[in-house]
Amino acid sequence: MPSFSHFLHTFINSKDLFIDAALLTLKLTVVSILIGILFGLFFALLKISRIKVLEYISNAYVFLVRGTPLIVQIFILYFGFSGIFLIPDFWAAALALAFHNGAYIAEIFRGTIQSIDKGQMEAARSLGMTRILAMRRIILPQSFKRALPPLGNQFIIGLKDSSLAAFISMNELFNVSTTLGSNNFDEMTYLLIVAVYYLVLVAVLTMLVSLFEKRLAVSDR
């Protein structure tokens, strides 16, 4: 284990590289989660539809994502699609993370949509709304509010999962720490440093999600 003075000295000297990597990690996480929300909402709506074929497609997607490791999904997108067209490291990782997170977000949305009282849909239909319009104006807004806490947790999971982008040579946090550790023969120090950065990012995201939840709770009163 490195001494505290050595850790602090290395932490300060490497801050520029790690801050750039942290920004890239945040960008990757935000982009992948936003796309993942679109994936998740789409497949959640397929799953709750009354069309069996669409429900089977959604179930197959969720099963495929849950049944295969994320690193395999990243490699398939990066190496598999590169034979057809060139895909940048960032988008390979972002799309793989979005594809992966989308399956879990689909289950979140499915649960929150189905938790809304069915009487609200029936009341909207009785007022002349179509099923799609009632879903968009009445059901989905309430569903998003209920989905916020688990979506916040999925955001944090996505942040930590982004470390797997190191395996396709993206200069995110984990890749920077392992590269610096290997170059300086000081792996443990840099692993401890990157752990601090991840803890700070998770703490900030947790605080932001909590503040957003409180604002939504106030608006409901």
Give per-10-residue mean pLDDT for the chain (221 aa): 86 92 93 94 90 92 92 84 74 89 93 85 79 82 85 91 88 92 91 95 89 72 57
Domain ranges within the chain, ordered by starting residue: 4-219
- Cα 77 from Cα 92, distance rounded (Å): 6
pLDDT at 82: 63
* CA–CA distance, 102 with 33 (Å, rounded to integer): 8
Confidence at residue 219, expressed as pLDDT on a 0 to 100 scale: 59
Q: CA 162 to CA 158: how far, in whole Å?
A: 6
**Contact by Cβ (8 Å): 15, 200:** no
CB 4 within 8 A of CB 188: no
Report in angstroms the alpha-carbon separations of 9 from 3, 14, 15, 19, 208: 10, 9, 10, 16, 30
Question: What pLDDT shows up at residue 77?
Answer: 80
Q: Which two tokens stand for residue 78?
A: 């990066």
118 C-beta neighbours (distance < 10 Å), count: 9
Q: What's the pLDDT score for residue 189?
A: 93
Polymer length in residues for the chain: 221
Residue 167 C-beta-side C-alpha neighbours within 13 Å: 16
Q: What CATH fold (topology level) applies to the domain 4-219?
A: MetI-like fold (1.10.3720)
Question: Which pLDDT value is given to residue 140?
Answer: 85
Which residue in 117, 142, 115, 120 sits closest to 131, CA to CA?
120
